[in-house]
Structure 1
Amino acid sequence: MTIFKILVVTVAFLIPKDVTAQSSASLSGFITDQQTGQVLPGATVQLKETNKGTASDSSGYFQLNNIRPGSYTLVVSYIGYQSVSKYNVIVNSGSNPDMNISLKPSVNELGKISVAADPYEQPPETPLSRRKLSRVEIASYPGGNNDIAKVVQSLPGVSGSVGGFRNDVIIRGGAPSENVYYLDDIEIPVINHFATQGSAGGPVGLLNVSFFEGVNLSTSSFPANYDNVLSGVLQFNQRNGNTRDFGANMRIGASEAALTLEGPLFKSDKEKYSNTTFIASVRRSYLQLLFQLIDLPFLPDYWDYQYKVNHKIDKYNEIYITGIGAIDDFRINKPDNITAEQQSTLDQVPVIKQWSSTGGISWKHRFRSSDGYLQTSLSTSAFDNDFRRYRDNENKKGLLQRTESREWTTAIRSQYKQFWGDWTASAGLVAEHNNYSAQSLRVVDDVQFHTKLNFLRYGLSGQLTRKWYDERLSTSLGMRVDGNTFMVGGKEFWKNFSPRLAISYNLDPAGRWSINSSVGRYFKIPPSTILGFKNSSGDFVNQHTKYIRSDHLVAGVTYSPRTSTQFSLEGFWKRYDDYPVSIADSVSLANLGANFEIFGNESVKSVGKGRSYGLEFTYQQKLRDNFYGLLAYTLYWSEFTGFNTDRYYPSRWDNRHLLTFTGGYKLPKNWEIGTRIRVLGGAPYPSLNREATEVTYPTLSFDYSSLNENRLDMFNTLDVRIDKKWNFKKWSLNVFLEVTNVLGSNIPKPPEFGLQRNQMGRPVEPRKIVQIKDLDNSSTLPTIGVVIDI
């Protein structure tokens, strides 16, 4: 708390006087049809808290000038469409991103009386189990350190990793490998630095929050165009660069510094805006310097970049090019006065060097003669991983484990969508070429192989949606099939037939009460780390694995007492079949993937079963009376089998209880306070097989049949963030103080083990495994961040 007081005093001396009254700002954007993307000229745009308003021009473009910086509600209306209210729109004196707003056609129109759109409205394909966060909610998230992978852990049903060191996204008891991630329409294989190959989780997110228009999470009822998903789809919607002026965003946080540039390209002085824009960023970590300063046994060092170029060819055609990449280096650092806990970490932590890159181009063509469009994307992704572990990590001597691997995928995705009044039809295809190569060595279990894997993965999808009775009832029927050219039986794509049905009904004409349900079957191909594994004879022993199958049944009710507020209650049930089970450890791979090992690099059998079921309550409040918040409680059970399919064990993610609250309150003079509360029930963990570990150390051996015997204590944390914004004539400044674990709660973790050592720090003979004395890890961590917009 002494550090906390010093930081508060430091901020008090650094902050300038409030100059908001001396500055003004402008806000602009485009109004389009939600279905077709066509521009809407003559739409009315108003700032609710002021008398300022305007109308969109022939290109759907609007601009509001001379706005006092602050937070507003933007209301957009147009005859024949449902009006939209955008809450908590931040306007500052620096560069303000364009507001791109889409309006939904309304069938409930009487003369010139416009109907208000529900800000929580769900698409008919996904009428429940879907939540979204806005750009402002993402940027001001407390305890997230501007890390989008941590921000999504505030959404309902997402438990994350206990302790907060890793960003594994664990949804409703499903493994972290069961999710897919999209940057606009481009699938990205990883969203974290130092990612677990085959599973995507890691300690630090690699996506820049300055890019995002919003993020959508679907935890069930997946539209048919999404393939390879069992538990969750995370859709990161990027914004376009500023169409009018060049701008810059500089951010310094607890672990990194970031620079983002954006603006128009090829814009003349006579034009109000440009049809071509760009936004690009680069981030550099200084986490390794902090870790070295406080003498931790490992040093994570990383760079990343992100970019998007958007071009409107004409009113019917638009293209964008986007990409992300990262360079990671996870090094060893021996502290001068090393403790027993630090020594065990030094022994067991791997040495990792990685780089990843994803790039793609997408073209959207709107039909001239009908309401519909065709969108086609071409993308390529590469992930290079050098993973090593030594008997002597410090001096890199005595190689125990080495995997040098590279995954390279090239994919084309195309989706056709057509609107006919109350009907919507869509069809899609995906074709993906996968290339995986690896050299792998594990001394402990005598594994050594060199593999090269090339195969094609493909899929077809279709969805038909219908709205009935003045849009009070909506139904959606979807189906897809998937196949590949490598797995035995992979070409029999009809065996992976994946139907889904969603129904939603508004119980009253105003749509305040609604009931929703969905049922579906979903498939996921095992990752290349499983498919490419070879035995000592050089055989692809996992070629007979099957697609993992999951059947979902979800039903719920929602209540919206006003447009800014919504309550929902859902019940969900998931059943798994053909889950890979480790032959070496007799454990379902559904329990793995949340550490730094390579997920699935072993021999497996597709015989496992699983189930996850529970109830979920959610309350969400958009900004109203200066308050906004999201409260969610999930009660669930998560269980999987090994080779004995009659016996279910609780999974590593079976927390049972998950409570999260994220909210904020806006104070006068651009002050804001936000808070995050997380409570997780105790998760199961396996016992250490000490006898086996004494032989294999520093590789640990676990008894996974003990998962029903051990549980961690309940985990809870309170994080607080205080923001203060200043608006100068041409730029703005935001300084925030973020305090994680304000109450000093102890973070539960499984017991740690290491070798028994003598007074000189050398292992005694014969080797003996001892439990490391638990240390207090209940520290409160305050940090200061600075954001500058120009």
Structure 2
Amino acid sequence: MAESDWPQQDLSMRNYPFTPLLCFIFMLILSPAAYPDSSKNSGSIHIDVIDAKTQRQIAGASFSVSAADSLLPQNSQPPHSSANNITLPPGLYQVQVFHPQYQTVIAPSVRVVKGKTTSLSLSMIAARSDTETLVVYGDQSRLDSLTSAGARYFDRESLRSNAGSGSDILRALDGLPGLFSSGEFASYTVRGNGPRDNLILVDGFPFANIVHFDDSFGELEDIEGGGRYSVFAPNLINGATFQPGGWSAAYGGRAGSLLLLDVAKGNSQTASYSARLDLAGIELGYDGPSNIHADTSLLFSARSQDFGRFFETIGLEDIGSPKNTDIIVKTSSRLDQNNDLELLFIYAPEKFLRDIDNVLASDEDEPGNYTDIELEKSATENYLLGATWTAHTDSNARWTNRLYYRYFEQTASSGEAYPDLVPIDTPAQQIPVRDNIITSSRQEQEIGLRSDFTRWNRFGEFNAGLRFSKTNLDFDISLAGDWQRFEYDSDDFRADPNQRFIVLTPVDVNSSLHDSNNLYSFYTDQSFEFDNWQLRSGIRLDHDSLADETILSPRFSASWRATDNTKLVLTAGRYNNAPRFNDRAAAAENRRLKHELTDQISLGLSYLFRPDLELLLEPYYQHQTKLIVEADRTNRIRENSGTGRSWGVDTALIKRFSHGWSASANYSYNQAKVQDAANQPYYAADFHRPHSFSLGGVWEINERWKLSSRWKWASGTPADGYVIYANVLGEGQPLRFAKENISNNSDRYQNFHSLNVRLDYRRTFNPLSVIVFLDVINLYGADNPLSSEFNPRSGENNIEEGQILPILGVRLEW
């Protein structure tokens, strides 16, 4: 296919391969402090201490700094320093923060770099007079005490150290209780729900398209898996808060889990530059003062990746050529003592091409047996611009307003090549093809406001907020003539019941959606604090103008601290899954699809053997109604006719980072079943895994070497029962086989198991630090199929083979 076949957008930065480099050069010119002062033989730590509730700075805190491999006993009296800036030789340190009115907080691993100031922000929880002094880790102090016991917080260092992350933030979440990630895709499933059921907010903004290559007419497993690569590298995210259930009334729109990503702020003290190179591409970054406003810091990152070259290197060239660029800019400004302003810009275009050369590469197992004949091309524009103003209206109140604009545009087409109809040595340009069989265009323009108010009163914490968004939708799907498909369900329409294939027709497939959708939400909740009890009751109201539907969602949680080390948390509430715009645009009958509803309840136990060692046990139950079901793939009509239920238990033993290492062992049991209509039987949900187990950890061997690994085992995902028919087109026609799915998820793929290993090596050559890393996903190449690919030319139902995915890279920091 010629480049001219692509949907053209001449002003797109996607058309300039050196955009990240040019942006970086601009940032270098902007900053007068491109290099650190090499005359300094030490570095420093700048510590900001804030109240975990009010988010205001705490005065009067004192600090203790020690070597990172020696955890001070809880009852020791270390030397204190009251200065927020502490000068130290380069190395790894543990920082403890003390205050008479707060629980002591530990940051177990803080790196000091020569000539640099490391900024550290720690949250402290108010101490209770009825208990002895407690020591908590920094991640614990950032969690809502009235959410699910399985909630976890990952800081920046934890995210970029996790084995199998593949330089991707969503893969870095692997190892959390109740969460499963195969490693092949930048996605995860939670408690039997699908990857698209997870609510993800970036700095509090809804950024629906956080994953690249997940929404075009690509491979089926791409769509099921939720996408190949996310927009964010782990180094860009300062912290990630994950909740498998039980979140407050402030959040809605998805029911599977909640993930809050906080984009890192620029270092307000000293400037740092970075360059990262791996087999897929290059990433350039700046982190430091803006040099425009004294109280404004800047974070800048530009990444360009060409996975086509990477796939060729590891022998997977049949996948195609995905290319993407990610440019992220964030400024953080202190306007005055009570007001802060943050600006966030994300630009994440992508391009995908699968041409005849990729088709011909799909016969690697047997010459002439082409397993995938799809021709695909797509081009996408994707960006977000957001502003966050936080005002501390008085000592007991905070008001946060977020205004944002989101734009997404995609043009895509899919066709087929027929190399089996000509001799095996036929030149590529002479192979018959049918281009642009199905084409689509999609445009979303959204503007929104999110306002949250918090006040601490004599009962506890009061919250109220509103959400408004208006999304203009322009969707078009067009089929150029009838299209025979050789994989189908038994209940898909066929004019002749004896016909062993289905035919997609323009009459049934062609569809357009040109409309706007207004979403209004309001929520409020109040917490009540007693001696050993905390309660929170809330309500959320959502209105969807396109569905003409109003949803009322009550939320409740209670926490009981039975002892200083033991806590029980009960959560209950209603949550909703908004219909995807793609589903609404697929057919005119889908415009008024309603929200899926999930009623959840969980009871969690958390027990601390010591501050760094925790045991978790959390059973849960979910009841689902109004599930969206596709009744017939020939006409693409969906209905809210499904129901479901999911129940199970998550367990974990977590050793937080101390003495130079951390580890966790997780086991989850789940039963998730759905039915398509009231009169039909229940069957296993698409992402149901009855058992899953993982064991992993991080070992900081010394200041230079770090090793992390994780081994996972899980039950296989469900698979449809099927039969295969031969010569379905009849005599005198090309030989074609057909696969008829005769039962929903009645079978199951083989058990999943995988070992991921990551090794980091760091060396400093003043003023440059060099970090070399090797991250290997699926080290021993286990076969872990998530789906199968039917080959109508051979009649084979191919189960994907296991692949070792090595990612070798170098990161430079100065």
Q: After the TM superposition, which of the residue ranges 100-109 and 636-645 deviates more from structure 2?
A: 100-109
State the match for 1:480 in structure 2.
540
Which digits, 9 at most, give the CA deviation of each residue in 1:542-580, with x for residues without a partner? Answer: 244222100001112111011111110110111110011
Hey, what does 2:520 align to over in structure 1? 458
Deviation at 1:351, TM superposition (A): 2.5
- Greater mean deviation of Cα atoms: 621-630 or 224-233: 621-630
Partner of 1:640: 674
2:372 is equivalent to residue 352 of structure 1: no
Cα pair 1:755 1:770 within 8 Å, conserved? yes
Q: Answer whether contact 2:478 2:510 (CA < 8 A) is retained.
A: yes
In structure 1, give the amino acid aligned to 2:228: P
Q: For 1:212 and 1:613, locate their aligned partners in 2 and report how far apart those are by CA, in whole Å.
A: 32
1:576 paired residue number: 624
Match in the other structure for 2:469: 432
Cα gap change, 1:413 to 1:663, in 2 (>3 Å)? same
Aligned counterpart for 1:42 among listed residues 57, 60, 71? 60
In the alignment, is residue 712 of structure 1 matched against residue 749 of structure 2?
yes
Which of the residues 553, 556, 571 maps onto 1:518?
A: 571
Tell me which residue corresponds to 1:542: 590
1:614 aligns with 2:648: yes
**1:149-183 Cα deviation digits (max 9, x unpaired):** 1112322212234xx33223211101222111111
Distance 1:67 1:98, change over 3 A: same
Secondary structure of residue in 2 paired with 1:168 = coil
Q: 1:30 aligns with which of 35, 45, 48?
A: 48
- In the TM superposition, 1:411-422 aligns within 5 A as 411-422=448-459
From 558, 562, 571, the counterpart of 1:507: 562
The alpha carbon displacement at 1:618 in A equals 1.1
CA distance in 2, matches of 1:410, 1:750: 37
Corresponding position of 1:208: 233
How is 1:6-155 mapped onto 2 (pairs within 5 angstroms)? Answer: 24-49=42-67, 54-56=81-83, 62-70=84-92, 72-93=93-114, 95=116, 97-108=118-129, 115-117=134-136, 119-120=139-140, 122-155=143-176
Q: Is the 8 A contact 1:408 1:435 kept in 2?
A: yes
CA distance in 1, matches of 2:767, 2:745: 60
| Secondary structure of the corresponding residue to residue 747 of structure 2 | coil
Deviation at 1:425, TM superposition (A): 0.3
Distance 1:53 1:116 in 2: 16
Structure 1 residue 440 displacement after superposition: 0.3
State the partner residue of 2:33. Answer: none
Aligned counterparts of 1:698 and 1:429: Cα–Cα separation in 2 = 59
The structural deviation recorded for 1:341 is 6.2
Cα distance in structure 2, aligned partners of 1:404 and 1:622: 47
Which residue of structure 1 aligns with residue 193 of structure 2? 174
Identity of aligned residues (%): 19
Pairing 1:83-482 to 2, within 5 Å after superposition: 83-93=104-114, 95=116, 97-108=118-129, 115-117=134-136, 119-120=139-140, 122-161=143-182, 164-196=183-215, 201-266=226-291, 274-293=294-313, 294=315, 296-297=317-318, 298-333=320-355, 334=357, 339=363, 344-348=370-374, 350-368=376-394, 370-392=395-417, 397-442=434-479, 443-444=482-483, 445-446=504-505, 447-469=509-531, 472-482=532-542
TM-score, normalising length from structure 1? 0.84
* Residues 292, 729 of structure 1: alpha-carbon distance in 2 compared, 3 angstrom cutoff: closer
CA RMSD in angstroms comes to: 3.0
Distance change >3 Å, CA 618–CA 701, structure 1 → 2: farther
Verify the 8 A CA contact 1:328 1:354 in the aligned structure 2. Answer: yes
Q: CA deviation at 1:462?
A: 0.6
What SS does structure 2 have at the residue aligned with 1:226? coil
Q: Does the 8 A contact of 2:91 with 2:703 survive in 1?
A: no
AA matched with 1:497: L
Distance (whole Å) between structure 2 residues aligned to residue 346 and residue 702 of structure 1:
15
Query: Contact 2:180/2:188 (CA < 8 Å) preserved in 1?
Result: yes
In 1, Cα distance between equivalents of 2:155 and 2:571 = 25
Q: Which structure 2 residues correspond to residues 755-766 of structure 1 after superposition, within 5 A?
A: 755-756=792-793
Query: For 1:48, what is the secondary structure of its paired residue?
Result: strand
* C-alpha displacement of 1:290: 2.4
Classify 1:486/1:246 alpha carbon distance in 2 versus 1 (closer, same or farther; 3 Å).
Answer: same
Residues 209-229 of structure 1: per-residue CA shift (max 9 Å, x gap): 222221111111011111102
Unaligned runs of 5+ in 2: 1-37, 69-77, 217-222, 419-427, 484-503
- The residue number in structure 1 matching 2:494 is none
Give 2:594's aligned amino acid. K
Q: Could you tell me which residue of structure 2 aligns to residue 559 of structure 1?
A: 607
Deviation at 1:115, TM superposition (A): 4.6
Cα deviation per residue 1:41-68 (whole Å; 9 max; x = unaligned)?
Answer: 3321221338885325xxxxx2111233
* Cα pair 2:306 2:321 within 8 Å, conserved: no
Residue 427 of structure 1: how far off its partner (Å): 0.3
Are 2:652 and 1:652 equivalent residues in the alignment? Answer: no
The letter of the residue matching 1:564 is D
Q: Which runs of 5+ in 1 are unaligned?
A: 1-19, 57-61, 269-273, 535-539, 587-600, 757-768
- What code does the residue aligned with 1:635 have? Y
1:763 aligned residue = none
Structure 2 length-normalised TM? 0.82
1:394-438 superposed Cα distances (whole Å, 9 cap, x missing partner): 876343211111122111000000012551000010001011111
Equivalent residues of 2:101, 2:126 under 8 A apart: yes
CA displacement, residues 698-741 of structure 1 (integer Å, 9 cap, x when unaligned): 99987555234321111101111222222343332221223332
Distance in 2 (alpha carbons) for counterparts of 1:233 and 1:43: 33
Q: CA deviation at 1:653?
A: 0.7
Distance 2:709 2:519 in 1: 44
Distance 2:649 2:179 in 1: 13
Decide whether the 8 Å contact of 1:281 with 1:306 is kept in 2.
yes
Question: Are 1:556 and 1:569, in contact at CA under 8 Å, matched by a contact in 2?
Answer: yes
Residue deviations 1:367-415, cap 9 Å, x none? 23x4110000011212222221112398763432111111221110000
Of the three residues 569, 574, 580, the one matched with 1:527 is: 580
Q: Which residue matches 1:784?
A: 808
Aligned residues: 713
What is the deviation of 1:104?
A: 2.3
* Bigger mean CA offset, 301-310 vs 621-630: 621-630
| Cα distance in 2 between the residues matched to 1:169 and 1:702 | 29
Paired residues of 1:24 and 1:729 also in contact (CA < 8 A): no
Residues 388 and 318 of structure 1, relative CA distance in 2, 3 Å threshold? same
| Contact 2:103 2:126 (C-alpha < 8 Å) held by counterparts | yes
CA distance, structure 2, for counterparts of residue 703 and residue 84 of structure 1? 59
Return the alpha-carbon distance in structure 2 between the equivalents of residues 27 and 693 of structure 1.
72
Gap change, CA 1:193 and 1:544, over 3 Å in 2? closer
Q: Decide whether the 8 Å contact of 2:398 with 2:453 is kept in 1.
A: yes
Question: Is the alpha carbon distance of 1:354 and 1:346 closer, same or farther for their aligned partners in structure 2, counting shifts above 3 Å?
Answer: farther
Q: C-alpha displacement at 1:338, in angstroms? A: 5.2
Cα separation, 1, equivalents of 2:97 and 2:375: 54
Aligned-pair CA distance for 1:692? 11
